[in-house]
Amino acid sequence: MNPQSISDTWQHGDPYERYIGRWSRRIAPLFLTWLDLPEHLRWVDVGCGTGALSAAIADTCLPRSLIGVEPSDGFLAAAIRNLGDRTVLKPGNAASLPLNDGAADAVVSGLVLNFIPDVPAALAEMLRITSNGGTIAAYVWDYADQMEIIRLFWDTVVSLDPGAANLHEAERFPLCNESALRAAFEAAGLTEVATIALNLSAEFTDFDDYWTPFLGGQGPAPGYVVSLPEGRRTALRDALSSRLAPAHGAFSLSAGTWAVRGIKRGKAIPEFDQ
């Protein structure tokens, strides 16, 4: 396999949980605290993955209803295991959401937007299913700066193989910064657009705690690792170890995101219980 042309892989929930899921579950509550939306809303989680954001919504927001939409069969199966009956889960993708117009009061997406091929089309779909006055919001990793778990991996890759620079996620995903997210939401016609940096500290017990999840093959960086021949994989491991944990002990890295939110134009229509 040519590592210069690797494709993203998002199919198996357990390796993803060990790689990024353990950090995404800690980011989700920070995102919801920032949104500070009222209780008893109709929520939709676009690209719900293994269920990190949906679980946080179910635990803290007292939703009137909660629907998760996910294109990956493997991730959808993991979400079903993780969420049980707390969420209605549907197969589907962001460009064609299996929901009626105005079906939600809050449409959110966690760590997904940059992987969607047509972001304007996805935002248009989110707008379609959002009620007038409803909220659309998302967050993505800050690959160029505060997502050190991934940024330092790619910085090390490129130091060993300059030809892999185009694979660096900071290069691949220019959407993942404050100005680009704001511009995308404003171009979609959302109002009151706001952004914030949400960061946490990711603690690793030792270097293997950091490195082993990259062997699971889920996501761009792990996909690159498993594409390498054994000798180059070992060289990468040794270079990362020397850079991140020269004393072979515990260490911490930042895991940072950019979040964005906006409001759908239009006067909210009051709802009355029948």
CB hemisphere CA count around 68 (13 angstroms): 32
The pLDDT of residue 19: 87
Tens digit of each residue's pLDDT (9 = 90 or more) over 162-193: 999 999 999 999 999 999 999 999 999 999 99
Alpha-carbon span 114 to 135, nearest angstrom: 19
Amino acid type, 67 = I
Longest dimension (CA), the chain: 67
Tens digit of each residue's pLDDT (9 = 90 or more) over 75-97: 888 889 889 899 999 999 999 99
Is residue 6 within 8 Å of residue 220, measured between CB atoms? yes
Is residue 125 within 8 Å of residue 152, measured between CB atoms? no
Alpha-carbon span 255 to 269, nearest angstrom: 39
CB hemisphere CA count around 233 (13 angstroms): 16
| Residue found by looking up tokens 């919001």 in the block | 137
The pLDDT of residue 245: 79
Neighbours of 201 (CB within 10 A): 12
Distance of CA 240 to the CA centre of its chain: 24
The pLDDT of residue 273: 41
Q: In the chain, which residues have pLDDT < 70?
A: 1-14, 247, 268-274
Write the CB contacts of 209 (distance below 8 Å, at least 6 apart in sequence). Answer: none
The pLDDT of residue 3: 45
